[in-house]
Amino acid sequence: MVESGGSGRPRPDSEESAERHATPAPPPAAHQETPAEAPDPSADKRHGPSEETTDEPGPAKAGTPDEPKPQDARAAGAPDPADRTPDPADLHPDRPLAHSTPALGEPPTPAKGRRRPQRPPETRGGLLMGRPFGVPVYVAPSWFLVAALITWVFGGQLDRVLPELGAARYLVALFFAVAFYASVLVHELAHTIAALRFKLPVRRIQLQFFGGVSEIEKEAETPGREFVLAFVGPLLSLVLAGLFYLAMQTVEPGTVPGVLLAGLMISNLIVAIFNLLPGLPLDGGRMLRAVVWKITGKPMTGTIAAAWVGRALAVSVLIGLPLLTQSGALGSEAEDSVGMDTVLDALLAAILAAIIWTGAGNSLRMARLREHLPELRARNLTRRAVPVETNTPLSEALRRANDAGARALVVVDAHGEPVSLVREAAIVGVPEHRRPWVAVSGLAQDLTEGMRVSAELAGEDLLDALRATPATEYLVVEETGEIYGVLSAADVERAFVKAMARPS
């Protein structure tokens, strides 16, 4: 007899991610190391990072009273102002720039050997089986382990019921394992179809060790939709159990079809009952969350209640399941001694309890994150930028940035249209004595359409835009298309971590 936890819970990549470290995404932040604190967006309504430095200093860092004034920039090797090339800002004095932080000094020399961590490659989640309704379905490597376990256990049961099968019983048991996980897939597809009906994006479905998971990237907007989204999975499992029961009536008991149908009926019934238990991360926990949300009007209150019920459920499974098995309440004979079956039951209970406890904790962290996500605003986190032409020496570009109180450089063409962004890491890697001879174009990254983000983006919309086009810097523009500034992924990451650390 196999139990499965096909919860269908939304999982915006908690298991993938420090899934996209350069552009934080929920829930991976719960597992990542905490970098330096991010500036509080409320500290400066014009811009966010007013007193913070990045891991890789950019064109300039936030100034303090003891820092050199902009006119001292020539000490770093900048050419004389009389010799400088024309600034597009001079050519277009009416062109608005992003609001900015106070006066800036020269970028400090980075610590020797310090490098920004590379973005980890995104995992696919296993073997791709297909794309029903446009949603990829993956089979995780752990599924093959549990399929082998089901084949071995169910094959042993078949030996007692149908001894005449001989070694062929394991082939029948393997068929049962595949059919059972096909039922789990139907359970997850029910969640997926409901999510797509509510216009919620579904990243993927993954079949794994204990059932399946539908990775729904956004929360339902209302408690009613949340309830429906959670309930359709167990409902489909109950329907499948009923269909297998009806099919049993058409075959002879004690035959291979009869045993298979009975096993599938019982398995789907267990999946439905297990997922209806009222604790996160199970479907019943999401239903409880929806009810509390409806009563209190606060989704966070519903999450807290359902998560703590989930933790209590985990403790109950850990203690109660072995006791029920030992007492014979689940249909087997009571045992007075501790044997291998008792040890296996205790191990199964520990694994289930750990999954439920961890899932409840992740749900709490996700809820806290979503509560603070609106604080992440592109307009508050954007650095002021100055436009420079392609052949402008780096030292001259940095001098202009200091004079303007800016922390980023945008390379523009002869008409003042942005074409690329000067990368922070590239600036740091150029020694000061070389900066008068290095053009900014050699340090710039060409702008793609995805690297242009609106200054009005905030919260999940901002993170979605950054995840869609991974980069270290983004050009932030007004609705009119005018340059507002440059957004660093490192600044967003620090603000993200600080939001996660702030109590609800």
Q: Which residues are catalytic?
A: 188
Report residue 104 as tokens: 């800036």
DSSP 18: S
Q: How many residues does the chain have?
A: 504
Report residue 165 as tokens: 């099968």
Per the listing, tokens 């900015």 go with 100
End-to-end CA distance of the chain: 42
H or E segment to which residue 130 belongs: strand 127-130
Cα radius of gyration rounded to whole Å, the chain: 29
> What is the spatial distance between Cα 485 and Cα 47, in angstroms, rounded to a whole number?
10
CB atoms within 10 A of CB 333: 5
Which residues lie closer than 8 Å to 464 by C-beta, 6 or more apart? Answer: none
Which residues lie closer than 8 Å to 293 by C-beta, 6 or more apart? Answer: 223, 226, 299, 301, 302
221 alpha carbon, distance to own chain's centre: 19
Q: Check residue 207 and give left, alpha or beta (phi > 0: left; psi -120 to 50: alpha).
A: beta
H or E segment to which residue 62 belongs: strand 61-62
> What is the spatial distance between Cα 137 and Cα 12, in angstroms, rounded to a whole number?
15
